[in-house]
Structures are given as structure tokens and as C-alpha cells.
Amino acid sequence: MININDIKNGMTIIIDGNIFLIQEFQHVKPGKGPAFVRIKLKNLRTGSTIENTFNTNIKFEKALVEKKPMQYLYGSADKYNFMNMESYEQIELTKDQLGDDSKYLKEGLDLDVTFYKGEVLGITLPEKIEYGIAHTEPGVKGNTATSATKDATLENGLTIKVPLFINENDRVVVSTKDGKYNSRA
């Protein structure tokens, strides 16, 4: 058991049988009344985020999650195959287990898969991933007075907005946090 005063960002805890990741917390000492802790929690099974307040005398059970480095191999329909780079063991995950992270996958991508007692909770993508531009319209000359953008389809099928100077077959870096163009590779 862990005291609420000993929690840290990134720690995983169990509340009512669900596994939560602590994203943010704040100790609050109001002028009147007892102190409390406001915590922003992400449910690792469903992906939903909640904010909750707790008294300072509460204890939580710590969840020991394990992150294993794996490589994305290939996908078919709604199934995605990953391989443990140490034991060469392969696992198959569904689109429901991956959620929105599935749109950033490309063959050969190294990432971490999170496990809790053998149950797969999800994947942790790198913050930025490099992709090739599969298709984009050429930029229009003279249309650069502002930071104009155009649509570009990446090698994995994801469509993003890129600056006008980006052409087909260029390599770009995309942020996995917001899905936006970051820089030219």
C-alpha cells in the first residue's frame, strides 16, 4: 500500500479494481477544512481520463506494470502483430486494445507494450516518428505569404497537414501526441 502523500506523476495505482496512471496531482490546503489531493488519472484499460479528489489519509495499492520493448511487424484487418525483440515471442493486439495509437503504426517501428499480470494494457509510442510522404499535391507558387498548409498522405495511410514546400517522397517527422507535422527529416 502506498500513502497518498507519496504519489508521483507516472505512478500506477489500483482503485476499485481498475489500473490508473497518475498524470497530475495537486495537494490542496484550503483555509477552512481538511487538506485534500486532486489527481488526474488515466484508466489504462479503457484509456479514459478522470479527475478525482481524495482525503489525505487514503492509501492506494500500487500496480506493478511492466513495459517490454517490442517491434510492430504487420497488421491485417483489425489485428496488429508485435514481436518481443529479446525472446522473439509474438503477440497479436486488436484495434480496440490500441485505440487511436493504431493510426501511427508502421512496419519495423520500435515501441513499448505495457503489461499488468500478463494482461496487455496498451502501447507506448515514441514521441515523434519519421514517415515518408506517399502522396501530396505540389505547392502553388506565390502562396507562401502566410504559413499555408496542404494535405499529405503518409506511407501508413495517415493524412496530415504539411507546409507547402513538402513534396512526395520527402521524409517528415510527426508528433504522436497531437498527430501534427513537426519537421522535415
142 phi/psi in degrees, rounded to 5: 90, -5
Average pLDDT over residues 63-88: 91
Q: Is the pLDDT of residue 142 over 80?
A: no
The lowest-confidence range among 108-117, 134-143, 161-170 is: 134-143
Residues of the chain with CATH 2.40.50.140: 66-124, 128-184
Q: Is the pLDDT of residue 144 over 80?
A: no
- Domain 128-184 belongs to what architecture? Beta Barrel (2.40)
Edge-to-edge strand ranges of the sheet holding 181-184: 159-163, 149-154, 128-136, 171-175, 181-184
Q: Is the pLDDT of residue 182 over 90?
A: no
* Pairing mode, strands 79-84 and 18-28: unpaired
Q: Is the pLDDT of residue 48 over 90?
A: no
Q: How confident is the model at residue 19 (pLDDT cuts 50, 70, 90)?
A: very high
Q: Is the pLDDT of residue 78 over 90?
A: no
* CA angle, 133 then 150 then 108, to 5°: 25
Share of the chain above pLDDT 70, in %: 96
- Which superfamily is assigned to 66-124 in CATH? Nucleic acid-binding proteins (2.40.50.140)
Average pLDDT over residues 117-130: 90
Residues of the chain with CATH 2.30.30.30: 2-62
- Domain 2-62 belongs to what architecture? Roll (2.30)
d(CA 40, CA 134): 39
Q: Is the pLDDT of residue 37 over 90?
A: yes
In three state form, how does the secondary structure of the chain look?
Answer: CEEHHHCCCCCEEEECCEEEEEEEEEEECCCCCCCEEEEEEEECCCCCEEEEEEECCCEEEECCCEEEEEEEEEEECCEEEEEECCCCCEEEEEHHHHHHHHHHCCCCCEEEEEEECCEEEEEECCCEEEEEEEEECCCCCCCCCCCCEEEEEECCCCEEEEECCCCCCCEEEEECCCCCEEEEC
Q: Is the pLDDT of residue 99 over 90?
A: no
